[in-house]
Amino acid sequence: MGMSEFYGQADEADSIRVIRTAVEKGVTMLDTADMYGRGHNEQLVGKAIQGIRDKIVLATKFGVVRSDDPEKRGVNGRPEYV
């Protein structure tokens, strides 16, 4: 479920509430990536799981680099980027 940009603008408080409700209902795994919302999604998930981090398996991905042109992406696997 996209919470950053893929489905249009989302209200941050609503997104946090959805994530926390999902955890309350039994969701135990969240997935994000630095390219989702250009980092916004990772920040959002961080806020949402404050105080309940021990209930979550958290996955993230890295290496896909976005540009201002939505048609162009690059790859960066250098250790300093990771």
Question: Which pTM value belongs to this model?
Answer: 0.78
pLDDT at position 25 over 90: yes
Residue type, 64: V
The bridge status of strand 64-66 relative to strand 29-33 is unpaired
- The reported pLDDT for the residue numbered 67 is 81
**Amino acid 81: pLDDT:** 85
Catalytic annotation, pick one of 36, 41, 45, 48: 36
What pLDDT sits at residue 4? Answer: 63
Average pLDDT, the chain: 88
How sure is the predictor about 38, in pLDDT bands with cuts at 50, 70 and 90?
Answer: confident
Annotated active-site residue 36? The verdict is: yes
From residue 25, alpha-carbon distances to 8, 19, 55, 61, 78 in Å are 25, 10, 12, 25, 38
